[in-house]
């Protein structure tokens, strides 16, 4: 057991007020979750409105695409149904790619491998943002596929980082889970209640951030058009820089 020498330098009343190492770790982890709860939904809010205005397609989730596939299959529109199915597969592929990189990083001890999916997302946003109106990047099939692939990566990364507590773009589940949290707060106490309150706070931050990102996109899209994708690209690059700083190897002096 580590000898906490500082306990002998302070009166007992002050010692009890000092945060324990485990408490400091939990506070730091919660601050990081709060950061991700704001950054990723804000980025997704920008993307969802920009995608809606560009091709009239909701490009941040796949729930609304399934009825469209059913209608196209029933009407015999196999080409259209196939295109939408490719969008579903792109969303799946984004989650798979992010999860594969994170698990390989754990297995092989390759530092920063988890940044590769984020680098791909930033590259896609920059590519779309710099595309001209007649560019192949804005193809009515390729564009939603690329954006859904990017959103799939973002959802997977924030879900893996926060133990599936936060979703970057799926507000339906967030609102439902917030209702469950509020109900549990009234029927819990002590440490359990405090943890549930923290989870509820994170979900509120997610919803507010997503709405703020969408409102930002509403305001700037008429002037910037697809260049608005440079904003979420910059956000993702900022997350990468933050992770590079947070996970940098400690020097001998810091250890």
- In the chain, where the domains are located: 29-245
H helix intervals, 56-189 = 65-74, 78-108, 115-129, 142-161, 171-185
Per the document, the length of the chain is 255
Structural contact between residues 233 and 129, judged by C-beta atoms closer than 8 angstroms? yes
| Nearest alpha-carbon partner for 122 in 236, 244, 46 | 236
pLDDT at residue 219 in the model: 93
Is this prediction's pTM over 0.85? Answer: no
CATH no., domain 29-245: 1.20.1250
pLDDT at residue 17 in the model: 40
Query: How far is the C-alpha of 145 from the C-alpha of 142, rounded, in Å?
Result: 5
Look at phi and psi of residue 214 and say left if phi exceeds 0, alpha if psi is from -120 to 50, else beta: alpha
Q: To which residue do tokens 């485990």 refer?
A: 22
**Residue 151 CA: distances (Å) to CA of 73, 111, 128:** 26, 23, 14
Q: What is the pLDDT of residues 92-116, one digit of tens each?
A: 999 999 999 988 888 887 778 888 9
* Cα–chain center distance at 216: 18
pLDDT at residue 1 in the model: 45
* Cα–chain center distance at 223: 26
192: which 2 tokens? 């359990």
**Which DSSP helix (H) or strand (E) runs through 243?**
helix 230-246
CA dihedral 3, 248, 114, 154 (to 10 degrees): 90
Q: How would you write the pLDDT of the chain (255 residues) with one tens digit per residue?
A: 444 444 434 444 443 444 454 555 566 677 777 888 888 889 988 988 888 887 777 766 677 777 778 888 888 888 888 888 888 899 899 999 999 998 888 888 777 888 899 999 999 999 988 886 666 667 777 888 888 899 889 888 888 877 677 777 777 778 888 898 899 888 888 888 888 888 888 888 888 999 999 999 999 998 888 889 999 999 999 988 888 887 666 554 454
Q: What is the pLDDT of residues 187-208, one digit of tens each?
A: 888 888 888 888 888 888 888 9
Neighbours of 205 (CB within 10 A): 19
């Amino acid at each position: 057991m580590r000898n906490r020498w500082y306990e002998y330098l302070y009166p007992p009343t002050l010692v009890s007020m000092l945060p324990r190492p485990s408490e400091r770790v939990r506070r730091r982890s919660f601050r990081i979750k709060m950061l991700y709860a704001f950054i990723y939904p804000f980025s997704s809010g920008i993307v969802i409105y920009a995608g809606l205005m560009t091709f009239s397609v909701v490009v941040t989730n796949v729930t609304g695409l399934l009825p469209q596939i059913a209608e196209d299959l029933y009407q015999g529109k196999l080409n259209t149904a196939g295109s939408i199915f490719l969008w579903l597969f792109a969303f799946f592929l984004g989650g798979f790619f992010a999860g594969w990189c994170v698990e390989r990083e754990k297995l092989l001890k390759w530092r920063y491998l988890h940044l590769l999916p984020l680098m791909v997302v930033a590259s896609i946003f920059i590519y779309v943002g710099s595309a001209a109106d007649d560019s192949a990047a804005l193809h009515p099939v390729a564009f939603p596929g690329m954006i859904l692939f990017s959103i799939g990566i973002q959802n997977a990364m924030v879900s893996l980082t926060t133990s599936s507590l936060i979703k970057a773009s799926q507000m339906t589940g967030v609102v439902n889970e917030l209702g469950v949290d509020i109900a549990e707060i009234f029927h819990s106490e002590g440490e359990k209640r405090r943890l549930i309150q923290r989870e509820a706070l994170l979900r509120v931050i997610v919803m507010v951030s997503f709405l703020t990102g969408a409102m930002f996109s509403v305001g700037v899209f008429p002037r910037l058009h697809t260049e608005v994708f440079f904003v979420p690209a910059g956000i993702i690059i900022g997350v990468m820089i933050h992770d590079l700083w947070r996970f940098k190897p400690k020097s001998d002096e810091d250890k």
